[in-house]
């Protein structure tokens, strides 16, 4: 098959099977990026997205890997290099959430949260950077959260993981800037995905009332920022809040 001429760039999207990640995949597909969609449990969704995009002549591969595990991340990176020979952009999007009182959070729940939401970013970035540093070019975008900036009640472990991502983003941006690699994070407010399916419409309306733009965000709001961050050349080390003004 012919390479995609328009950008000829390869992007990995972790957790690309649903929600924000799936929307990022679809938007970048329009820009003709070569895409590796990572998923863990949602194989049928991943296959459906791939099938749809293949019909539009997008070069898209899907790969199952639990990004909370170093060995599986290594396989994801190896697969990407075998398929597309390069990694230009890494979107660390995969994440989980859970609401629990801090005093009731078990070690296992804490570790799962940190492994999935923070260590995954460590593993994926470190493995992808080997290729990016060789090439002296790259772009890493981490999907953080408003709670990583402000802290979220009953979401201490999640907030810690996302705050960790913010620290990693700033420090790593300084470390790899000379290699022409940009590292940024996006901190969404509340976005309409399955992650918030536990909220009732009443609860969503109450949150909406607190948001100056008076609406819940959509995955496309985050995807558009990802696209902009990839194209931009002078932004690094930033945590970009996209939250309708919920936290300013
Ligand atoms: P979502 O709809 O629940 O989707 C989560 C995605 O992450 C799925 O594709 C899932 O893949 C993947 N994932 C989870 N654990 C994984 C693992 N161990 N390995 C690989 N993939 C894994 O959530 P979302 O709302 O799109 O969230 C995406 C990101 O945005 C997360 O990092 C989240 O913390 C962040 N965020 C979301 C909101 C919001 O309001 N929605 C707000 C702030 C930040 P499988 O289904 O294939 O397992």
**pLDDT on residue 7:** 66
Give 203's pLDDT tier (boundaries 50, 70, 90): very high
pLDDT tens sequence across 165-200: 999 999 999 999 999 999 999 999 999 999 999 999
**pTM above threshold 0.95:** yes
| Residues whose CB falls within 8 Å of the CB of residue 238, separated by 6 or more in sequence, listed in order | 169, 173, 184, 185
**pLDDT on residue 87:** 98
**pLDDT on residue 11:** 98
Q: Could you tell me the distance, in angstroms and rounded to a whole number, from the CA of residue 1 to the centre of ligand 1?
A: 31
Q: How far is CA 164 from CA 119, 124, 126, 135, 168, in A?
A: 9, 15, 15, 27, 6
DSSP code at position 141: E
Pocket mutation for ligand 1, best pick of 12, 14, 16, 19 (most atoms within 8 Å of C-beta): 19
Could you give the 3-state DSSP secondary structure of residue 215?
coil
Q: Mind telling me the catalytic residues?
A: 158
Q: Over 80: is that where the pLDDT of 5 sits?
A: no
As given in the structure block, the two tokens for residue 35 are 């895409």
As given in the structure block, the two tokens for residue 168 are 């990693």
Question: Which residues does a 6 A CB cutoff place in the pocket of ligand 1?
Answer: 14-15, 17-21, 38-42, 66-68, 93-97, 116, 143, 145, 188, 190-191, 193-196
Q: Over 80: is that where the pLDDT of 2 sits?
A: no
**pLDDT on residue 222:** 99
**pLDDT on residue 241:** 98
Could you give the 3-state DSSP secondary structure of residue 94?
coil
How buried is residue 161: exposed, middle or buried, by Cβ count under 10 Å (0-12/13-18/19+)? buried
Pocket mutation for ligand 1, best pick of 14, 16, 18 (most atoms within 8 Å of C-beta): 18
Four-CA torsion 73, 83, 30, 229, nearest 10 degrees = 50
Q: Could you tell me the distance, in angstroms and rounded to a whole number, from the CA of residue 64 to the centre of ligand 1?
A: 14
pLDDT tens sequence across 93-120: 999 999 999 999 999 999 999 999 999 9
For residue 21, give the ligand 1 atom closest to its CA. Answer: 26
Q: Are 239 and 149 in contact (CB under 8 A)?
A: yes
**pLDDT on residue 8:** 83
- Kindly state the average pLDDT of the residues 7-13: 91
**pLDDT on residue 172:** 99
Q: Over 50: is that where the pLDDT of 233 sits?
A: yes
pLDDT tens sequence across 14-71: 999 999 999 999 999 999 999 999 999 999 999 999 999 999 999 999 999 999 999 9
In the numeric block, the tokens 């070569």 are attached to: 34
Give 1's pLDDT tier (boundaries 50, 70, 90): very low
Which domains are seen in the chain, by residue range? 10-242 (3.40.50.720)
Q: Are 39 and 1 in contact (CB under 8 A)?
A: no
Q: Over 70: is that where the pLDDT of 246 sits?
A: yes
**pLDDT on residue 157:** 98
């Amino acid at each position: 098959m012919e390479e995609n001429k328009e950008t000829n760039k390869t992007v990995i999207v972790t957790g690309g099977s649903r929600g924000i990640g799936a929307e990022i995949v679809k938007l970048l597909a329009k820009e003709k990026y070569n895409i590796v969609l990572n998923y863990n449990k949602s194989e049928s969704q991943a296959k459906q997205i791939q099938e749809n995009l293949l019909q539009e002549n997008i070069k898209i591969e899907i790969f199952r890997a639990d990004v909370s595990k170093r060995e599986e991340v290594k396989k994801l990176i190896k697969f990407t290099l075998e398929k597309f020979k390069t990694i230009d952009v890494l979107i660390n999007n995969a994440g989980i959430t859970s609401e629990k009182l801090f005093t009731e959070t078990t070690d296992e729940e804490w570790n799962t949260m940190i492994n999935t939401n923070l260590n995954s970013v460590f593993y994926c970035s470190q493995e992808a950077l080997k290729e990016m540093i060789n090439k002296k070019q790259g772009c890493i975008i981490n999907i953080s959260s408003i709670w990583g900036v402000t802290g979220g009640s009953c979401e201490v472990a999640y907030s810690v993981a996302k705050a960790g991502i913010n620290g990693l983003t700033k420090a790593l941006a300084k470390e790899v800037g000379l290699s022409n690699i940009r590292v940024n994070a996006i901190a969404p407010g509340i976005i309409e995905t399955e992650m918030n399916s536990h909220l009732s419409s009443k609860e969503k309306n109450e949150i909406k009332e607190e948001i100056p733009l008076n609406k819940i965000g959509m995955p496309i709001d985050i995807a558009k920022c990802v696209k902009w961050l990839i194209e931009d050349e002078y932004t690094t080390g930033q945590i970009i809040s996209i939250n309708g003004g919920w936290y300013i």
